[in-house]
Copies of this chain bind each other. A is one copy, B any other.
């Protein structure tokens, strides 16, 4: 198996060690080249190093204090404008029904997992965080109402090495020719 897929863990405790800009850029490059439906590339990445903003992001993420040990957050935002031809007002939230929202979440998730694997290749730990509400996190990052924050990725050097978590068996998830 690709060694980054095998080695990847969700890291919730980071070392007090900086991550330089070139490393973050290298990680973002892996997301930039990700595949997306009709090559629409609906993703935006907000690189957050400002401590006050990190603090406010953690607070609206159910006050997960462990997040603050990571020196960098990357807020990964999906833009529905990549799929819409109209200029009419759109407000997105957790219960929005649009198919286009599902498409941009799917595509942004692909790019985010590229960031995760590339960070792993560079010796960094990450964690997907998606426990927040759009209407609470949006103002903190000044994200327009027609965008959807898919996840905050915490990025840093791991302080400890989490053990792999249990997964379902093939017999529970693999089918042949039909469901």
Residues of A within 8 A of B (CB): 1-2, 4-6, 8, 10, 25-26, 28-30, 32-35, 37, 39, 41, 43-50, 53, 77, 94-99, 101-103, 105-107, 109-110, 112-114, 116-118, 121, 128, 130, 141-144, 147, 150-151, 164-168, 170, 173-179
Contacts and interface: CB of A to CB of B under 8 A. Distances in A.
A97 B48 CA distance: 30
A41 B173 contact: yes
A109 B50 CA distance: 30
Q: Please tell me how many copies of the chain the complex holds.
A: 2
Contacts of A174: 28, 44-47
A37 B101 CA distance: 19
A26 B1 contact: yes
Given A6-B33, A168-B32, A168-B41, A143 B1 contact: no
A153 to B, nearest CB: 11
Given A2-B121, A103-B130, A178-B141, A167 B44 contact: no
Which of A32, A106, A150 has the most C-beta atoms of chain B within 10 angstroms of its own C-beta?
A106
A30 B45 contact: no
Nearest to A36: B128
Which of A2, A112, A167 has the most C-beta atoms of chain B within 10 angstroms of its own C-beta?
A2
5 contacts: A1-B26, A2-B4, A47-B174, A48-B176, A105-B105
